[in-house]
Amino acid sequence: MLTTTRTSGRPWDGIVPESEQAIYRKTGWGTPAGLGKRPALLIIDVQYRSMSEKPMPIEEAIQTLPTSCGEYGWRAVPHIAKLRAAFRALGAPIIYPYVAPKGPQNRGQFETKVPGVMRVPPHAYEFVAEVAPAQGDILIPKYQASAFHGTPLASHLVGLGVDTLIVTGCTTSGCVRATVIDACALNFRVAVPEDAVYDRSQVSHAVNLFDMASKYADVMPTSNLLEALENGGAMP
């Protein structure tokens, strides 16, 4: 029987059985990779469409915005803001892959599976003010889950000499995960701050963090990641 009771500090504890976690540990899955020397921050899809215009429970938020993650998104915003401030101080790249407005011309299989995305009003595509782009940031419209698919993201990263991606935003199980997998496949080091990503399902959020931590990225709280950035990439 699945339980969602947390037994320790990791988001997946009490959701992924300890017996299964032990198997991963025994065989070396989840070995920390660490950060490189040239990180970039990705803020993925942090638009009002993914969280609603103000903090509210998800059950209320989806009444007007079916794509909303409600309060789960708003809980992540302060952590994203801290990382954005840290990257500003470092002079490091900040990149905003974002959901481009949907219309008949770009309707695809995903929109067939999730028709609610076609009912999002234009103003909901705006960036959340607390973490909105500033002059000099890179904006990348996207039409698929991965920020790499059909976009110039990889070209930007190569041109900037980036070797590490810090991935924030939403959803943990969708666009974040797809981007993380592609980044790992392209041999970028990847870190995911567990409290700066969000999802409409908290079980899916936790399980996908566990899976990414096991295979594709270093997963940690924002506070630990900020400490690592201050230490030139050395993990606390």
Domain positions in the chain are: 36-230
Q: Residue 225 has what DSSP assignment?
A: H
At 112 the pLDDT is 64
Q: Which residue has the higher pLDDT, 31 or 122?
A: 31
H or E element that contains 185: helix 177-185
Residue (of 148, 59, 137, 152) closest to 96 by Cα position: 137
| Distance, CA of 172 to CA of 111 (rounded, Å) | 19
Portion of the chain with pLDDT greater than 70, in percent: 87
Q: Using 50, 70 and 90 to split pLDDT, how confident is the model at 232?
A: confident
**pLDDT the model gives residue 4:** 35
Q: Give yes or no for residue 145 having a pLDDT over 80.
A: yes
Q: Could you give the CA distance from residue 210 to residue 154 in angstroms, rounded to a whole number?
A: 25
In this prediction, residue 134 has a pLDDT band, given cuts at 50, 70 and 90, of very high
* Per-residue pLDDT at 105: 63
pLDDT in the model for residue 116: 64
> pTM for the full model?
0.91
> What is the CATH code for 36-230?
3.40.50.850
The total of other beta-carbon atoms located within 10 Å of residue 130's CB is 12
Q: How many CB atoms lie within 10 A of CB 91?
A: 7
Indicate the pLDDT class of residue 3, thresholds 50, 70 and 90.
very low
Q: Is 38 left (phi over 0), alpha (psi -120 to 50) or beta?
A: beta
Grade residue 7 by pLDDT with cuts at 50, 70 and 90. very low
Q: Is 13 helix (H, G, I), strand (E, B) or coil?
A: strand
The fraction of the chain above a pLDDT of 90, given in percent, is: 79
Count of CB atoms within 10 A of residue 113's CB?
Answer: 8
Residues 6-21 have a mean pLDDT of 85
Amino acid at 236: P
Cite the DSSP H helix spans in 62-168.
71-90, 109-113, 153-160
pLDDT at 194: 98
Name the nearest CA neighbour of 42 among 143, 155, 138: 138
User: Angle 177-185/202-215 helices, nearest 10 degrees?
Assistant: 10
Q: Would you say residue 220 has pLDDT above 80?
A: yes
| pLDDT of 235 strictly over 50 | yes
pLDDT for 33 equals 93
Integer angstrom CA distances of residue 184 from 2, 37, 179, 212, 217: 30, 16, 9, 10, 7
d(CA 151, CA 169) in angstroms, rounded, equals 18
| Tokens, residue 9 | 């500090």
Residue type, 171: T
The answer to whether 72 and 29 have CB atoms below 8 angstroms apart is no
pLDDT at residue 183 is higher than 50:
yes
End-to-end CA distance of the chain: give it in Å, rounded: 35
Average pLDDT, the chain: 90
